[in-house]
Amino acid sequence: MKTFLLTTGLLVVIIVVVIIQSVQMHSFKDEFLDLLPTLTQAYEQNHSEKFHETSEKLQQTWENHHTWFSLTVDSRTIEDIELSLKRTVKYGQMRDTFDFYAEKINLEGMITRLPKREGAYLKELL
């Protein structure tokens, strides 16, 4: 009987964590994708202060949410998103138009597909 209760309790905890993580991921995706057009607009209008402010918000949004992703998204994907975000901001600061747009499209695609890449990875949990 104790084993059954312990197993049921553990299952409930896992389900709650997965639900919280899923809500966090969808919240992040919506918040992040809402900021990307503002970044593009600031870039196109050559408004460096607004560009810097928006890039800081994007990085803060990432920092606030990415901890939850390590439970169900492999570390390679997380690293790719971090690198793409850094490159997007750097290319925007350098006014490298082609690379800025290419990297922004890549970043947007990775963020859009992020909820679809969820899965339990034993090596990530260990």
List the pLDDT tens digit at each of the 126 positions of the chain. Answer: 888 888 898 888 878 877 887 788 888 889 999 999 999 999 999 999 999 999 999 999 999 888 877 777 888 988 999 999 999 999 999 999 999 999 999 999 999 988 665 555 444 444
pLDDT for residue 24: 81
What does 60-91 look like in DSSP terms, one character per residue?
A: HHHHHHHHHHTTTS-HHHHHHHHHHHHHHHHH
- Give pLDDT tens digits for 110-123: 999 886 655 554 44
Domain locations in the chain as residue ranges:
2-125
The pLDDT assigned to 116 comes to 67
Contacts of 112 (CB under 8 A, 6+ apart): 29, 33
C-alpha span between 87 and 55 (Å, rounded): 11
> Is the Cα dihedral 21, 112, 104, 121 positive or negative?
positive
pLDDT of residue 35: 95
Q: Which CATH number fits domain 2-125: 3.10.20, 1.20.5, 2.30.29, 1.20.120?
A: 1.20.120
Structure tokens at 5: 């209760």
The amino acid present at 121, given as its one-letter code, is: Y
Instruction: Please name the residues in contact with 86: beta carbons below 8 A apart, sequence gap of 6 or more.
Output: none
CB 88 within 8 A of CB 107: yes
CA distance 119 to 4: 26
Please give the C-alpha separations between residue 16 and each of 22, 30, 64, 74, 97, in angstroms, as whole numbers.
10, 21, 19, 20, 44
